[in-house]
Amino acid sequence: MKRTLDRAPFFLIAVLFLLLSTSADAFAQTKSKALPRVNRQSAAQGAPASQLKDPAVERKIEALLKQMTLDEKIGQMNQFSFGAPTGPGTSRSEYGEMIAAGKLGSVFNLTGAKETNQLQRAAMTKSRLKIPIIFGLDVIHGYRTTFPIPLALAATWNPELVQQTASAAAHEAAAEGVRWTFSPMIDISRDARWGRIIEGAGEDPFLGSAMARAYVMGYQGARLSDPGSIAACAKHFVGYGAAEAGREYNTTQIPERLLREVYLAPFNAAVNAGAATLMSAFNDLNDVPASANPFTIKQILKKEWGFRGFVVSDWTSIKEVIAHGIANDGPTAARKAVLAGVDMDMEGELYISTLAAQVKSGAVPVSVIDDAVRRILRVKFALGLFDNPYANEKVLPANLDAAHVDLARTAAEQSFVLLKNEKGVLPLSAAAKTIAVIGPLADDADAMLGAWGGKGDAKNVITLQASLQDFADKHHMRLLHEKGTEIRGGTDAGIPAAVNAARQADVVLLAVGESAGDMTGEAASRTVIDLPGLQTKLLEAVAAAGKPTVLIVFSGRPLTLTPVVDKVNAVVQAWHPGIQAGPALWRVLSGQANFSGKLTVSMPRAVGQLPLYYNALNTGRPHLKVDLTHPPTNGDEKYVSRYIDELNAPLFPFGYGLSYTKFDYSRVSISAKSLSSESLNADSQSLKVSVDVKNTGERDGVEVAELYLGERGTSISRPVRELKGFQRVALKAGESKQVEFTVGKEQLRFWNIDMRQIVEPGIVTVWVGPDSQTENSAEFSIGK
């Protein structure tokens, strides 16, 4: 496609824009169909959890366990980082010796076939029992090919695509000896102050569960022992995303029902999809640190859910239970963690240094150690490490896999969310002969890599500026570029030049937002989440030039755009989109591709609204239509659940996103008006919900149709509505399709007043529409 454009004289571009814009989705689909080496296993196929249940393997584990000394067992439970710390520092060099002595079961932050093989050789040739090392790494949104950040990937509402990105990352990582990723991060977060909101799927447990499954299936493939498969690690178990006030590592208080309905749901999905490992979290949960929490790990995860893989702590999170206040020394911390069910100690050195003595004294039963070791060996066997411990040392191509690069572009394209498009300023008019690209994010390759860029290299990033320059050079278009100011700090010295560029332009693209590593991700909570530095000042000055202005926001969280959104004509939420940032953006801005992404977090108007989420309870005095033009004039306006200085509603709601075309929904139709809770609980009854979705515009497009349910009259208060289904529907201009959902036990049950997960009688509203504020609804009742 790009080559076609290269040869086209400029006067043909207008025609080309039109042609391309109508075939955009067909193009995107052809691209993704061509992807090789992608595990396309579906949820229904092959009961992945059974990979950790092979009787033949269990016999091998028992035989091995019998030969192991206590020290060798505890060695398996010990994990060290190989330099490159992602937490408080480590400066070790004795890895080889420790492995040979059977004192280390896992190493992370080491990559490269030769490098990992070297340590593996110590395990396989020098250690007494020749138990292979499992090498781990944070492969979060790609390995060498950096995909959009997970929050952006979630905005595609396309689990199949996310599964493909995870599969691509798995193949790349495995080729360099890494057979275990500390991903997916599936913490639900309702608070955009928390920097790690970038790593998850947003605020919703249903969507979060779909994404959790997608990552697990993508990483682990059809069989964990396949050479391109790596073990997943669902993290952080559990509740980390509810950090009070959005402050990193902060305490969480989550009542059991909320825990089960919201925060545990994606973990349950990951475990059911076969996730081989989980990571225990840093936070204190209901007064018990998550890394020494028997209720969540031993009771729920291992007993109720039957999880057979192993749990690794987070970085020194076992040691940190001392700071949390439930242990006064290392041995107690280690004992509480291991008894709670944490099987492997990441970086803490407490298992290796204190458990043997505690087993000997009887403080820790050896059966607890055996259980942990069994789990670790089980995953090592499932990965095929005993038979194939070494990575292939063949020389890897210097260039990225072209199919993975295409996938990165498709993923980025689908992750962009069009929030506003006034007077059709987008797609860009082919008549625009001068484009001004302004802002500190237009050419910032590092920021495009996001906070967990893996082995991503800024050299492989094509920025927006680079894409536009390339296009402009070839087509004699004039491109003006001014940075204007820095992302943070900086001065306003560059603003006059930026305004000058804007004045000369037919259209202005303003690329603003957050940097990646220092402003988003771990240890990057913010109390103010507007455009940092002098970017708002830059925006105001540039917008005052009066040219059609498109705001492109690169960020790892929803920002409070309230003060700026009215000053520009269009707003694109672009996240941190990965190596193909520029080409993907250019395709949607120019209309070669259509927007289809939708928000998976409510975008706050003001930071004071946080935590903010659509699936909230109603309150006894609900008030959504607050009028801020005057102070409350009577009791009905005043004594309701509201703020006196801001609306309750988000600036843009969960599920929201525009397209270049328009979609009409027919009224919701349901196949029954009343159901019985008894039949629903027996899973012998369900109903069909359907709507016709019509593309009434002139371009092809993809609409995400969203199904929400809300029940009243139940034993406990239920959220006003909850997402219970979604479908991406590709519609040609003028085309109409029926979209159907099934609603039954799975969608209607909840943890009731007796803490039983059942369907209760009540009145249910069903909504189907384009976002979480849709009013397109029908109602049915559930009787006895």
Nearer to ligand NOJ, 196 or 605 (CB): 196
Please report how close the Cβ of residue 111 comes to ligand NOJ at its closest, in angstroms.
Answer: 13
Q: How far is the CB of 153 from ligand NOJ (least distance, A)?
A: 17
Indicate the residue among 203 and 522 with the shorter CB distance to ligand NOJ.
Answer: 522
**Integer CA distances (angstroms), 268 to 70, 101, 247, 272, 354, in order:** 32, 37, 26, 6, 32
Name which of 451 and 731 has its Cβ closer to ligand NOJ.
451
Does residue 235 touch ligand NOJ according to CB under 6 A?
A: yes
**SS3 of residue 690 by DSSP:** strand
Give burial (CB, 10 Å; 0-12/13-18/19+) of 755: exposed
Closest residue by Cα to residue 263 from 289, 235, 305, 294: 235
Binders in 590-609 for ligand NOJ, by CB under 6 A? none
d(CA 517, CA 485): 19
- Report the SS3 class of residue 235: strand
Whole-Å CA distances, 33 to 30, 254, 592: 5, 43, 18
Smallest gap from Cβ 454 to ligand NOJ, in A, equals: 11
What is the edge-to-edge ordering of all strands in the sheet holding 180-181? 180-181, 134-137, 106-108, 78-81, 345-346
Q: Which is nearer to ligand NOJ, 185 or 731 (CB)?
A: 185
Question: Min. distance of Cβ 424 from ligand NOJ in angstroms?
Answer: 43
> In the sheet where 233-237 sits, what is the strand order?
233-237, 277-280, 310-312
Quote the least distance from Cβ 523 to ligand NOJ, whole Å: 9
Judge residue 626's burial from the number of C-beta atoms within 10 Å of its C-beta, 0-12 exposed, 13-18 middle, 19 or more buried: middle
Question: Could you tell me the CA-to-CA distances from 350 to 240, 355, 767 in Å, in that order?
Answer: 23, 7, 52
Query: How many Å apart are CA 235 and CA 729, to the nearest integer?
Result: 31
Q: Which is nearer to ligand NOJ, 87 or 761 (CB)?
A: 87
Q: Which residue, chain included where needed, has tokens 């393997």?
A: 57
Q: How many CB atoms lie within 10 A of CB 521?
A: 22
Site residues for ligand NOJ, window 27-56 (CB under 6 A)?
A: none
Q: Is 522 in the site for ligand NOJ (CB under 6 A)?
A: yes
Q: Which two tokens stand for residue 676?
A: 């019985």
Helix (H) or strand (E) holding 16: helix 13-22
Q: Name the minimum Å distance from CB 699 to ligand NOJ.
A: 41
Closest to ligand NOJ by CB, 283 vs 596, is 283
For ligand NOJ, which is the closer residue by CB, 243 or 417? 243
Residue 651 is encoded by which pair of tokens? Answer: 């600036």
17 lies in the site for ligand NOJ, by CB under 6 A: no
Among 315, 351, 554, 575, binds ligand NOJ (CB under 6 A): 315
User: In the bound complex, what is the minimum distance in angstroms from residue 273's beta carbon to ligand NOJ?
Assistant: 19
Residue 676: CB minimum distance to ligand NOJ, A: 45
343 is catalytic: no
Among 23, 86, 562, 777, binds ligand NOJ (CB under 6 A): 86
- Provide, rounded to whole angstroms, the least separation between the CB of residue 123 and ligand NOJ: 21
Residue with smaller CB distance to ligand NOJ, 235 or 598 = 235
Binding mask 552-571 for ligand NOJ (x = CB under 6 A): --------------------
Binding footprint of ligand NOJ, residue count (CB under 6 A):
8
Task: Compare residues 143 and 741 and give the one whose CB is closer to ligand NOJ.
Answer: 143
Exposed, middle or buried by CB within 10 Å (0-12, 13-18, 19+), for 89? Answer: exposed
- From 249, 302, 240, select the one nearest 277 (Cα to Cα): 302
Min CB(415)–ligand NOJ separation in Å: 21
Chain length of the chain = 784
Shortest Å distance, C-beta 170 to ligand NOJ: 16
Query: What's 185's DSSP letter?
Result: B
The binding track of 165-184 with respect to ligand NOJ, each residue x by CB under 6 A or -, is -----------------x--
- SS3 assignment, position 631: coil
Q: CA of 706: how far to CAs of 95, 402, 555, 668, in Å?
A: 51, 33, 25, 12
Query: By the 8 A CB rule, do 389 and 124 touch?
Result: yes
Residue type, 273: A
Number of H helices, E strands in the chain: 26, 27
Q: Which position among 72, 314, 320, 514 is part of the footprint of ligand NOJ (CB under 6 A)?
A: 314
Least distance between ligand NOJ and beta carbon 522 (Å): 6
Contact criterion met (CB below 8 Å) for 299 and 240? no
Q: Between residues 275 and 550, which has the closer beta carbon with respect to ligand NOJ?
A: 275
Instruction: Please tell me whether residue 708 binds ligand NOJ under the rule CB under 6 A.
Output: no
Measured distance CA(424)–CA(13) in Å, rounded: 18
CB-wise, 234 or 495, nearer to ligand NOJ? 234
215/315 with CB nearer ligand NOJ: 315
Among 25, 187, 191, 314, the one annotated catalytic: 314
Upper half-sphere CA count for residue 236 (Cβ side, 13 Å): 27
Among 61, 83, 118, 63, residue whose Cα is nearest residue 389: 118
Instruction: Tokens for 205, please give them.
Output: 């447990």
Site map 109..148 versus ligand NOJ, x via CB under 6 A: -----------------------------x----------
**Stretch (H or E) spanning 724:** strand 722-731
Distances (CA, A) of 678 to 681, 683, 684, 766: 5, 9, 9, 20
Residue 511 makes CB contacts below 8 A (sequence gap 6+) with: 437, 438, 439, 440, 441, 442, 464, 465, 552, 554
284 binds ligand NOJ (CB under 6 A): no
Q: Find out whether the peptide bond into 150 is cis, omega within 30 degrees of 0.
A: no
Among 54, 57, 70, 87, binds ligand NOJ (CB under 6 A): 87
In whole angstroms, the minimum distance from the beta carbon of 138 to ligand NOJ comes to: 5
Give the residue with the Cβ less far from ligand NOJ, 274 or 454. Answer: 454
Is there a cis peptide before residue 236, judged by omega within 30 degrees of 0? Answer: yes
Q: Which residues bind ligand NOJ (CB under 6 A)?
A: 86-87, 138, 182, 235, 314-315, 522
Q: What are the catalytic residues? A: 314
